[in-house]
Structure 1
């Protein structure tokens, strides 16, 4: 059986300073990968790097605004220079602004589109350029995009967020088709995480309650649990394990796929 061993590979994780991104970086490092933490939060990113190094992992921080094309180019170059290559890109960075459709703010909606969709698309672009034959890394690899169970269900208060995560799903499939057709040797997949009690997940529960969609924060969380066949919220390690799997040779014949990691909520 092929293992999930990532020894000798280098991963770049966006939004890696905290939450799901930090958990994914830790899991990749535990599987043997060197990891670049890419984030706009330099202090938090450096903290995560130091935590990884304390476990014996090789890790670096790279400053990255995922909506900035030039910043992506610089982050990839820095990663390859510091860690010796690039084999895995995890496009995790994202934002969520809860709103009723009747109260939608165009500026907030645009910000979600820029970070969640354009930021992910730029991540795929620069992964392809670096990993394809003739690129600065040039040995193929894996891209894992982070969508959401919000792409597969209709949950009140997250219309534009859901739309952006649905966009990531479609982007993933087209990118996988292009990579295969053009011989890049890069697999592209995405996961659909469940609601997870990170800072973003907790804020969503608070926001939906404040909008009057649920009588309390506890009721909002309980509704999610009741909609989940496995009967609990997701945990960071649930999502991180899926990223390691899709990044490994155990998934070597998987591309263009969306993996639900949602306890059955989106089925």
Structure 2
């Protein structure tokens, strides 16, 4: 996608808001309700934004919500796009490009996922420490737009260490444990076979999901700080897997919602501007 097309989306949004957002938020399956807590919201349907795709997945409302949350200026995706919906990787990650061009320096990305680590359980939240890209694609393939970022961005610290430390400190005052681990990103839309799950676990994955990795790659390409949080909705242990449906995923995400909202709101509230304006050079 050309820079000119991205700027058309940016200008469309700028004409509807009167401030520069600080933090972008991508709210995954069943977690979009947090956007309803945003104060003085400006809601913009994806279908109205130039060049934006439309979300087709149940549990993804399909709009940007821009306003204030815990005193921070935010722009939240209430529902995201996925590679398995038939969109290109560039289309999937367009909103992240737009967030950065609107002024966001940091990105909070969330998802619902399957737990491959036997120490986890459904309903747990996990701080993403790193990821494995098993989607078979990369949103940076093709012409590089030098104005947006380097041809070969470094992913060794894809999830900003200082933001991870901040989240760990915040959760000490909450009444639940925040797991930590590696997110294995796959293309979907099928849930993984038993053999595939065993392989991913042996390769170092703690959870598996169908999003997040492309968005984080683009965020880091544009020098955004990234905080990633996964909601574990089911256990995906290859040796004992019993199968899962999207409806079951949504049910667990619904039950985990209070803890998820508490964590994200506390992370925003207790982080001063210095925390959110860290510069992690790519």
TM-score by length of 2: 0.36
* Higher share of residues assigned strand: 2
* Higher share of residues assigned helix: 1
TM-score by length of 1: 0.37
